[in-house]
Amino acid sequence: MEVVVVESPAKAKTINKYLGPNYKVFASFGHVRDLPPKDGSVLPDEDFAMSWQVDTASNKRLKEIADAVKTADGLILATDPDREGEAISWHVLEVLAKKKVLKDKPISRVVFNAITKKAVTDAMANPREIDQPLVDAYLARRALDYLVGFNLSPVLWRKLPGARSAGRVQSVTLRLVTDRESEIERFKPEEYWSVIAHLKSEQGASFEAQLNTIDGKKTNKMTLANGEEAGSIKTALEAASFAVTSVEAKPVRRNPPPPFTTSSLQQAASAKLGFAPARTMQIAQKLYEGIDVGGETTGLITYMRTDGVQMAPEAISSSRDAIGQRFGANFVPDKPRHYETKAKNAQEAHEAIRPTDFMRAPDEVKSKLNDEQYKLYDLIWKRSIASQMESAQMERTTAEIEAKGEGRTIGLRASGTVVKFEGFLAAYTEHQDDQKKDDDDSDDDKRLPELKSGETCQKEKIDAEQHHTTPPPRYSEASLIKKMEELGIGRPSTYSATLSTLRDREYVRLEKRALVPEAKGRLVTAFLQDFFERYVEFDFTASLEEKLDKISDGSLQWKDVLRQFWDEFSAQIDSTKELRITNVLDALNERLEPLVFPVREDGSDPRICPKCGEGNLSLKLGKFGSFVGCSNYPECNFTRQLGQEGEGSADALADGPKELGADPFTEEMITLRTGRFGPYVQRGEGKEAKRAGIPKGWDVAEIDHEKALALLALPRDVGEHPETGKMISAGLGRYGPFVLHDGKYANLESAEEVFSIGLNRAVSVIADKAANPGRGRAAPAKALKELGEHPEVGGPISVKDGRYGPYVNHGKINATIPKGTDPQSIDLETAVRMIAERAEKAGKKVGGAATKKKAAPKKKPAAKKKAPAKKPAAKKPAAKKTAAKTADEA
């Protein structure tokens, strides 16, 4: 009997079916060891010795594997075909060697790019040894991430209170987001005008023509800078006669895009399907690991962490057969297409993401997939098959039209495109890039009527429109990943994990699918640019990635790369020891001037305190983070939160509370104030004064007497419940807007609803809550997502949404989902790990009740010896091991 080790239980289950009774397949559940999150895990002075730690859950699994290996004929390591997969196999092998269970047993490493019976059995027939250079590259990355995280982050904590962490890739990615925000802030819109002539051909067909020349001079978008210039052109065209001077038709061929890489899949899934990158990878993981189609579990796509764009020869042949059958022989090109990636530092070791069987069309497996799986598989299948299809053939027609009038000659141009042969467009149409939408002047969707040189055209109307240039858009997650790939920052397996880290650290937030840097994120970037500039440079990070790639192919020694990096980096860390906080603040004031000193509407100096009129404003660092304060403190106590929404209102409150008017019943003055937790309204003075916070999302500048009275009147009575006769009230609480009846709460959808909800709606919300007890929200209490049975002890695992947020549930065990993590992105493997960690902390047994330590009462000393195992530090590494592979340290 042979023991086979893979990462996930789903993968293990499928492969076990393929291999039969002579094999026993075990899942490692990802990495089995990690660097403990504490000083000393990597020792540069001891030739970069690394200390590895196995968490409790992995210990149990490794024991099971070790016990099986003792009686096995051999060990086969079949983890994923990338650097992380190689590292997992290496870790497993190292642990088993220390347990002394290998002896003289044969050990082999096999890799397969798809989980199909043929791919797996072919791999088993072609074993190899562990790829040590690939492992060395992994070790170098882990050591670098650790050294940066655990040496740079403490500098941030000392010099920049409120900062959470820094990381080798994380900080450079954050810089991309903050640089874009600074670019948007510096942008000054420019006015320009367009003039469009709506014309009709001699045959009566309408079309549009745009300005091309004025009195023989070529025009561009910015030629007409104001309404006066546009008006003169419009007047001339309204009095002009129009004649076609030339018509040119050119054939155009458009070639298909290559099949998906990790990056391009995440971008297309975001644009076409609205999937976040992390969610895309979760769904792709399931499609890769296998779906039951026709009574057999098989992988539907190849490995999804890749930057290669080429397909295997047999896959190309299969795709050409499928194209001929599904679309026709004329859609199959004479020769197969071959692609080369344009991404910086790309490695071609893996295939592109493609279907494992091109004959398995999406509509044939739709009934076997959930909605998200079907959409993603459909996208991958179409893009892959389109990559081997014939080019689209079009005819682009351009007509030049001369307009004469008012003593001027104005040239117009009308363009249009007609598709003569769909080619690959019959299968797949590319999405528009976020960065190009505003400037896309494509005429591909326009058609031009038949025009002849010399014919006259009739004027229908002339339009002159005002425009303003717009700043570059903020990055979406997908467009940021594209930029990271172009610059050579990070690798496919780390993209989504890096973005998740930035959100978890509260350095960025997602706002309408755009990444917006938080104030603390901008502070961290500014600090690093001033005092660690080299380590947030794009070229430096990319060059380091190149060195790591060279380690992978064996052309560089990993410890040589570490030594060179550490010598320079440690010296830079040492240079900050004498750095004074005042030096930091002065540098940040200058670099973040638009954020710290926003321009005032009255034109006054934004650096002068608006309260005392004498002190200078400056960035201050406090226990709870950064803020702007007056240099005349404590005589002047003006403060303003950095990056606070509605900053103008904060300035308005600089002279103290703003009076809104008297309460009509108590005659006490109602004031608008700002405090430690933000703006609020208050009635009266003293400790007993009634206060109410301003709901999130409300513009403080719009708070008036009426709104303040409404806030202070909360909770408000909605009416008596028709069945119980007890009063229903509505208010704002710690967990948001709610209705209350008979001591039980039910959440509302928005703060505005608190003031408008009627009795019927309130009764309905309460009824929903009563029908679904245990929920903190009014929505039905069904699970957000069913993940399946626990692979070890059985029983359903699901993702639920509770009063304190989303969580994973298995029996009586609930594991909270970390803040910033999409509940829909949780898969079975991640959930099983979370359940195991939660059960261990709570002293419970997975699949049962609390563990009873029967031996403890009889052997008290033994119970005391177990106490050290409860140290928090021993539990933290487990939380970092996700299906997304590695992320930056700290």
> Which residue out of 18, 146, 303, 535 is catalytically annotated?
303
Cα(83)–Cα(85) distance, integer angstroms: 5
Cα(163)–Cα(149) distance, integer angstroms: 13
Q: Which two tokens stand for residue 188?
A: 């000054």
Question: Is 377 one of the catalytic residues?
Answer: no
Cα(286)–Cα(288) distance, integer angstroms: 5
Cα(550)–Cα(485) distance, integer angstroms: 18
Cα(787)–Cα(711) distance, integer angstroms: 42
Q: Which two tokens stand for residue 161?
A: 């209170």
Helices (H), 71-200: 83-98, 117-124, 132-159, 170-186
Cα(595)–Cα(618) distance, integer angstroms: 11
278 membership: H or E segment, kind and range: helix 277-289
| Cα 348 off chain centre by | 25
Contact, 522 vs 506, CB < 8 A? no
Is the bond preceding 154 in cis, omega lying within 30 degrees of 0? no
Q: Which two tokens stand for residue 715?
A: 């909770």
Cα(517)–Cα(264) distance, integer angstroms: 24
Tell whether the torsion through CA atoms of 210, 214, 219 and 224 is positive or negative: negative
Contact, 319 vs 332, CB < 8 A? no
Classify residue 633 by burial, with Cβ atoms within 10 Å: 0-12, 13-18, 19+. middle
Q: Which two tokens stand for residue 656?
A: 């103290």
Contact, 731 vs 714, CB < 8 A? yes
Please name which of 753, 751, 765 lies closest in space to residue 694, comparing C-alpha atoms.
751
759 membership: H or E segment, kind and range: helix 759-771
431 SS3 class: coil
DSSP strand E in 512-612: where? 514-517
| Cα 416 off chain centre by | 37
Please name which of 11, 148, 162, 1 lies closest in space to residue 88, comparing C-alpha atoms.
11
Residues 6+ apart with CB under 8 A from 882: 30, 497, 830
Q: Which amino acid type is present at position 348? A: E
Q: Which two tokens stand for residue 564?
A: 């060179």
Please name which of 572, 575, 570, 577 lies closest in space to residue 144, comparing C-alpha atoms.
570
Q: Which amino acid type is present at position 859? A: K
Q: Which two tokens stand for residue 195?
A: 């003039």
Cα(134)–Cα(85) distance, integer angstroms: 10
Q: What is the CA radius of gyration of the chain?
A: 32
Please name which of 206, 209, 172, 629 lies closest in space to residue 402, comparing C-alpha atoms.
209
Contact, 307 vs 347, CB < 8 A? yes
Cα(457)–Cα(422) distance, integer angstroms: 32
- Enumerate the β-bridge partners of residue 43: 49
Query: Which are the catalytic amino acids?
Result: 303
